[in-house]
Copies of this chain bind each other. A is one copy, B any other.
């Protein structure tokens, strides 16, 4: 029977997470010090450590949170009906990603999270889940595209879906590091590939 309401606890947690996210977005995981988080949150070291027992836990929480956000979006994008063509779907993803790429957008964390995933198992799991979500989502989309005749009946659903999934982080990266790509680049690029004249397959 805690002294303090559950709501209070939850509010504090949020306060800390919001601060941590802002810091991580601004400076990445490593360059962000716990002191940065204390300052940004307006809380003391002790307070933050009451809710999160290490910096790693904070990192993990934010990574997980980001994963959840993206997952939510992707799922809702799938529920649309009638089914938009592939280039349109990819374009909508890009539209969305673009907003999250703004100076305070969560996707600015993406490269840091990918790096962290290389040795932090918690982050690895979060990123893997995210990638799996994206793939699953794309598998379904590709299937439906096939089912409506926009892709050949014998299309390799997994290969196409996975390949499309490759492009997503690449788009984010290009946006963050080059800043010169937009949704139409992606949309038109996919459209261009889809518009290739079908040829007799060339034997090896």
Q: Which residues of A contact B (CB under 8 A)?
A: 2, 27-28, 30-31, 44, 46, 85-86, 108, 111-112, 114-119, 124, 127-128, 131-132, 142, 149-152, 155-156, 158-171, 173-174, 176-178, 181, 184-199, 202
Contact = CB atoms under 8 A, between A and B. Distances in A.
Number of copies of chain A assembled together: 4
Interface SS of chain A: helix, strand, loop or mixed? helix
A195 B198 contact: yes
Nearest to A127: B177
Contacts of A167: 163, 166-167, 170
**9 tightest CB-CB pairs across the interface, nearest first?**
A163-B189, A166-B170, A159-B188, A115-B115, A160-B192, A166-B167, A111-B114, A159-B189, A194-B196
A159 B185 contact: yes
Given A156-B192, A196-B194, A118 B108 contact: yes
A112 B111 CA distance: 8
A196 B156 CA distance: 12
A28 B119 CA distance: 9
B163 A185 contact: yes
A168 B173 CA distance: 11
